[in-house]
Amino acid sequence: MEQRKARIRYQPLGLDEFRNHTNPPYLIEPSIWSDSVYVIAYSEETEKITLFKIERIDTAALRGESFDLPENFDDQEMLKHAWGIWFKDKAPVTAKLRFAPSVTRRVKESIWHPLETVTDLDDGGCLGSAEVAEWREMLPWIRGWGADVEVLAPDGLRKSLEREARKMAELYQIVARAESKNLFYAHTKDGADESEWQPLLEHLTRVADYAADFGRDANLAELAKAAGMIHDLGKYSKEFQARLRGSKIKVDHATAGAKELTQTFKGTPQEAFALLLAYCVSGHHIGLLDYGDSSDLPGDGTLKARLKTDLCDYSTYKNELDVSALAFPKQFPIRPLKGHWGFSLSFMTRMIYSALVDADFQETEEFMHGKKPRGGHEDISALREKLSDHLRKFENPASDINRKRTETLTACREKAAEKPGFFKLIVPIGGGKTRASMTFALNHAAAHGLKRIIYVIPFTTIIEQNAGVFKDILGEENVLEHHSNFDWEQKKREAGA
């Protein structure tokens, strides 16, 4: 076999344009669920192994360059979780299906997936499950079972079939054609049918719930939830919905929520809260804006200017949401610093903004790519025990300097029981501040039910030095290092090695 590279012109499903790829073809594989044949090849353009359906290749030409199959290429391992031919470089998801008693025998007669498990149920039906790379590849097969199968997991697969069922019920006029023909969407996916797009109300509700969770420890859950509920009101415009379907028109969808807040609550006790949230909503993609003044004009880039901007008609949001019903705190949710109200308000606004932006990003990411594991760190009590185990070797100091370090350590541990406030630790270089400060922090957090310890340090070299010590003691998975000198790409390479 010559093993020569090929140059192909390829049209992905759902796209009008063609894309060029230079490929060393590794494998030609038929799909067991269709009559199609696929090429598994490394694309030099995307720098990853990619699946190409032969029917979508417009032209192909051999190149003079030859290639060797990588030693680590294992097609069996790569396709192990594929339902047919689709594979991913992400962890597989668990598909769970409940089959009716009338089809259980037929289900058991065949092996549908090499990693499947089938369990009998008390009603005579059965429960089938398998770890699959991409649940969308299962859709035609599941449709073939009709009403004799119910999808239990994953959630995306179940919701996709729910949307299809509603469309079929309308198509055959089993139910009245609902206002779903005017359904508004938040996000699409490349190549996905419109039935798989994300309804806007679902996105707003989920972002609101996430934002409330992220703001809860700061006593800002209500305000963060309100921001999440109206942050994308501008997507209710016909122009934005047309954009999702391919229109190139630019649509400002972030200002709408800010406008509704300031107009709805003007002259009410909630007016100040509404203005504060307008900052967060209007800037949830570009950052917090300056307030500006009354002389600002549309396009000036301030909040006052944005509130004067003419927007596409988004009023159909009123069919699904009532801005006037948003819940606001009955009293000021934080205790401002005495004499520094502006400073306190500024940080409160930034906390709400942070909760909103993180919630929006995380919810969108989950819709587009599925839920990813987050957290994975140990709690404060467990970390305190790790530190205590590490410090035992310093309990019997022999030198004068080590005795002084131990005295500092002991003083920090004793002070940790005091009520939260501001504390100052003044120790000369070499006095053991790194371990002593963490001793205070972990014991103080454990004593008062706190969840996070944040170190803010000048100079990246000192941050790196302290982070290195903490990682050695507490484990790298428990320390999040964040600064301008941190090499995330190197971490990704190490994780993939």
Domain boundaries defined on the chain? 4-75, 93-178, 200-369, 380-496
pLDDT at 182: 61
What does the angle CA 227 – CA 228 – CA 230 come to, to the nearest 5 degrees? 70
- Contact indicator for 478, 378 with CB cutoff of 8 Å: yes
pLDDT at 180: 47
pLDDT at 178: 44
30 φ, ψ (degrees, to nearest 5): -80, 155
- Contact indicator for 195, 163 with CB cutoff of 8 Å: yes
Q: What is the dihedral of CA 161, 166, 167, 171, to 10 degrees?
A: 130
- Contact indicator for 321, 204 with CB cutoff of 8 Å: yes
Q: What CATH number labels 93-178?
A: 3.30.70
pLDDT at 16: 81
Helix (H, G, I), strand (E, B) or coil at 89: coil
- Contact indicator for 166, 180 with CB cutoff of 8 Å: yes
pLDDT at 181: 52
| pLDDT tens digit sequence for 370-396 | 888 787 889 999 999 999 999 998 888
As a whole number of Å, the CA-based R_g of the chain is 29
pLDDT at 496: 61
Kindly write down the DSSP assignment for every residue of 338-400, as one continuous string.
TT-HHHHHHHHHHHHHHHHHHHHHHHHHHHHH-------PPPHHHHHHHHHHHHGGGSS--SH
Task: Report if pTM > 0.75.
Answer: no
Which residue ranges in the chain fall short of pLDDT 50? 177-180
- Contact indicator for 184, 315 with CB cutoff of 8 Å: no
| pLDDT tens digit sequence for 90-106 | 889 999 999 999 999 99
Q: What CATH number labels 200-369?
A: 1.10.3210
Residue (of 77, 69, 319) closest to 183 by Cα position: 319
pLDDT at 176: 55
What is the C-alpha to C-alpha distance for residues 101 and 455, in angstroms, rounded to an integer? Answer: 59
- Contact indicator for 257, 281 with CB cutoff of 8 Å: yes
What is the C-alpha to C-alpha distance for residues 289 and 341, in angstroms, rounded to an integer? Answer: 19
pLDDT at 488: 79
pLDDT at 1: 61
The answer to whether domain 93-178 and domain 200-369 are alike in fold is: no
**What are the tokens at 48?**
């990853």
Burial of 347 (0-12, 13-18, 19+ CB in 10 A): middle
Helix (H, G, I), strand (E, B) or coil at 131: strand
> Tokens 């997507």 — which residue?
235
- Contact indicator for 335, 345 with CB cutoff of 8 Å: no
Query: How large a percentage of the chain has pLDDT more than 90?
Result: 73
pLDDT at 166: 82
